[in-house]
């Protein structure tokens, strides 16, 4: 059976671009049909396209990664997956870390020992980088909160018509003559938007 070369491409989110990695794989002559792409975090290996790749590759095949960090950012997972490919006699090629490339024609014990050491070091750096990214994100969120910036989805804004409806219906609802559900349906509001408006309205009444 003729061996094949596959590629695995990963970015951490849907907003990030995969073009550079794709172009790199194409330049190596890898058919686009043989490029597996995930737009998910590298915190673990529970990624659909990566798992599909593992189900497709066979003994003697080669899998190309742009970097060891595309495989994972978890040190234990990196070592485990690296061992899995070796155990199943599948060659690995890392463009940015060629010292980790494997060949099933090589049985040099010393080289494998060196690879294990390098793999541990790079895996530790990949995991540390991920932890530092998370820390910077937490610090950024905290700094934004201190400055009074709103985080997350923007709050839904009521139209002028809905504001008038709310002002007219609020006393009726407050007296129990109208249910919240009926008022939401009348105004075309979702539950969270409705109760956010109630809190804001009642806070304004208290300051008058």
Q: How far apart are CA 64 and CA 93, in angstroms?
A: 5
- pLDDT tens profile 65-109: 999 889 988 888 888 898 899 889 899 999 998 888 887 554 555
The whole-number average pLDDT for the span 19-30 is 94
* pTM for the whole structure: 0.57
C-alpha distances in Å from residue 58, one per residue of 31, 47, 71, 127, 198 = 17, 19, 18, 29, 61
- Alpha-carbon distance of 86 to 83, in angstroms, equals 5
pLDDT at 132: 66
The CATH code of domain 5-129 reads 3.40.50.1390
Contact partners, residue 48, CB within 8 Å, separation at least 6: 38
Domain spans of the chain, in order of start: 5-129, 160-207
Q: What is the pLDDT of residues 145-194, one digit of tens each?
A: 766 665 555 556 788 888 888 888 988 888 888 888 888 888 888 888 88
Cα–Cα distance measured from residue 89 to residue 92, given in angstroms and rounded to the nearest whole number: 10
Which distant-in-sequence residues (6+ apart) come within 8 Å of 51 by Cβ? 45
| Mean pLDDT of the chain, nearest integer | 82
- Tell me the angle at which helices 191-207 and 160-174 cross, rounded to the nearest 10 degrees: 80
Contact call for residues 186 and 169 (beta carbons, < 8 A): yes
Q: Is the pLDDT of residue 129 over 70?
A: no
Please check whether residue 39 is in contact with residue 16, taking contact to mean a CB–CB distance below 8 angstroms: yes
């Amino acid at each position: 059976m003729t061996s094949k070369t596959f590629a695995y491409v990963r970015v951490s989110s849907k907003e990030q671009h995969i073009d550079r990695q794709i172009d790199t794989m194409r330049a190596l002559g890898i058919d686009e049909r043989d490029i597996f792409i995930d737009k998910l975090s590298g915190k673990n290996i529970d990624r659909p396209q990566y798992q599909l790749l593992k189900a497709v590759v066979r003994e003697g095949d080669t899998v190309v990664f742009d970097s060891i960090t595309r495989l994972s950012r978890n040190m234990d997972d990196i070592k485990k997956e690296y061992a899995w490919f070796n155990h199943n006699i599948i060659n690995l090629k890392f463009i940015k870390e060629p010292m980790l490339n494997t060949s099933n024609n090589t049985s040099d014990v010393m080289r494998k020992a060196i690879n294990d050491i390098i793999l541990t070091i790079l895996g530790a750096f990949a995991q540390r980088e991920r932890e530092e990214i998370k820390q910077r994100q937490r610090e950024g969120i905290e700094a934004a909160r201190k400055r009074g910036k709103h985080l997350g989805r923007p709050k839904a804004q009521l139209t002028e018509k809905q504001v008038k409806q709310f002002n007219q219906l609020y006393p009726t609802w407050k007296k129990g003559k109208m249910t919240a559900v009926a008022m939401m349906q009348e105004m075309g509001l979702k539950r969270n938007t409705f109760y956010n408006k109630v809190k804001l309205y009642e806070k304004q009444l208290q300051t008058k």
